[in-house]
Amino acid sequence: MEEAKTESGKKTTLGVEENVESLLAYSLTFVTGILFLLLEKKSKVVRFHAMQSTITFVVLLVFSQVLFIVPAVGNILSRLMSLGGFILWIVLMVKAYQGEKFKLPVVGDIAEKELNK
């Protein structure tokens, strides 16, 4: 997991500090991720967090639902994945608020590539 400190106090398109808006991009998982992708035009940092939030939590939701269908073990694995997703959600929000560009393996790279198109 790659970490990079960003400039704090920088304002965004919506007039909010970059670190606060980055945290909010994770607050309702992929829902706010999509919302901030649509609303934020200026801040590449916020757009990165919004894209990473969207990809991460859509993938976790899909995998969790697929696992839930699997008899016996699927229910347990789905619940463990949900717990892991909850912990990841908290970590991502804290890191975003601290002004860190906390890049997840694979997902972070995909988010950057999508934003650079």
What is the per-residue pLDDT across 27-86, written as a single tens digit (0 to 9) for each? 999 999 999 999 999 999 999 999 999 999 999 999 988 998 888 899 899 999 999 999
DSSP 102: -
d(CA 117, CA 95): 25
More confident site: 1 or 12: 12
Q: Model-level pTM?
A: 0.90
Domain limits, the chain:
18-115
Q: What is the pLDDT of residue 72?
A: 85
- For 23-44, give one letter per residue: b (16+ CB within 10 A) or e: bbbbeebbebbbbbbebbeebe
Mean pLDDT value of segment 81-98: 97
Answer whether 63's CB lies under 8 Å from 81's CB: yes
